[in-house]
Amino acid sequence: MTLTDLRYLVALARERHFGRAAEKCHVSQPTLSVAIKKVEEELGVQLFERSATEVKITATGQRIVRQAEKVLLEAAQIPEIAAAGKDPLAGPLRVGVIYT
């Protein structure tokens, strides 16, 4: 499972429609559908209930999507941490004082 797969899960949970979720992710609907199915097979549980008119998220799916949102937020911080590491003046400033 990749971060892209997690983005697809979150988008589908928010949109509740494969076409709109695919559009939000800038991929085709079949690409999104295959990725979601692959994640469900990998985890061994159904995350979404599909019907002709709508997509409903299962209880397990809701828990997994909440965790996926947390993972995506944490992953988004990695470039910020790397950028801060490039700045030699970034970080805490420690000052020592000797009383005389």
Per the domain annotation, does 99 fall within a domain?
no
Alpha-helical (H) ranges within the chain are 3-15, 18-25, 29-43, 59-86
Per the domain annotation, does 98 fall within a domain?
no
Count of domains in the chain? 1
Per the domain annotation, does 50 fall within a domain?
yes
pLDDT of residue 81: 84
Beta bridge partners of 50: 55
Per the domain annotation, does 12 fall within a domain?
yes
Per the domain annotation, does 25 fall within a domain?
yes
Per the domain annotation, does 34 fall within a domain?
yes
8-58 tens-digit pLDDT: 999 999 999 999 999 999 999 999 999 999 999 999 999 999 988 889 999
Report which of residues 92 and 74 the model is more confident about: 74
The CATH number of whichever domain residue 43 belongs to comes to 1.10.10.10
Closest by CA position to 54, among listed 5, 28, 21, 23? 21
